[in-house]
């Protein structure tokens, strides 16, 4: 079975969110783990960073903002492609707005 592009992104987001929520002592092993989970792909890390940027800009996601900020910096420090992050943010924001709106209904 072929893996879709969203499957590794979803797995990566899960890992980064978990690491961002936990106290971080030595960041190097955490960043190495994140890079490894992304298979060293700066593009995939950039997509994840774009999702976290979008989360921070969504008022409905305000309770998650601190965690998203920490997650964004983990992506950046792990080597995210910032151009990809910027390009991903609008689509991720639109998706979050739809998802949050549906959840509120």
Q: What's the pLDDT band for 101 if we cut at 50, 70, 90?
A: very low
Q: Which structural domain range is residue 56 located in?
A: 9-19+27-104
Q: 27-68, pLDDT tens digit by residue?
A: 999 999 999 999 999 999 999 999 999 888 877 766 667 788
Sign of the CA dihedral 12, 20, 60, 103?
positive
Task: Evaluate whether residue 90 is within a structural domain.
Answer: yes
pLDDT > 80? residue 99: no
When divided into structural domains, the chain yields a total of: 1
Task: Evaluate whether residue 33 is within a structural domain.
Answer: yes
The Cα–Cα gap between 89 and 9 comes to 14
Task: Evaluate whether residue 3 is within a structural domain.
Answer: no
Could you tell me which residue, 93 or 87, shows the higher pLDDT?
87
Q: 9-28, pLDDT tens digit by residue?
A: 999 999 999 999 988 889 99
Task: Evaluate whether residue 1 is within a structural domain.
Answer: no
């Amino acid at each position: 079975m072929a893996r879709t592009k969203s499957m590794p992104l979803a797995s990566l987001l899960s890992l980064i969110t978990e690491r961002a929520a936990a106290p971080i002592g030595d960041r190097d092993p955490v960043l190495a783990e994140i890079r490894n989970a992304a298979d060293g792909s700066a593009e995939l890390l950039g997509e994840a960073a774009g999702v976290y940027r979008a989360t921070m800009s969504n008022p409905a996601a305000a309770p998650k903002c601190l965690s998203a900020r920490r997650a964004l910096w983990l992506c950046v420090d792990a080597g995210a492609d910032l151009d990809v992050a910027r390009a991903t943010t609008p689509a991720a924001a639109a998706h979050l707005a739809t998802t949050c709106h549906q959840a509120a209904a």
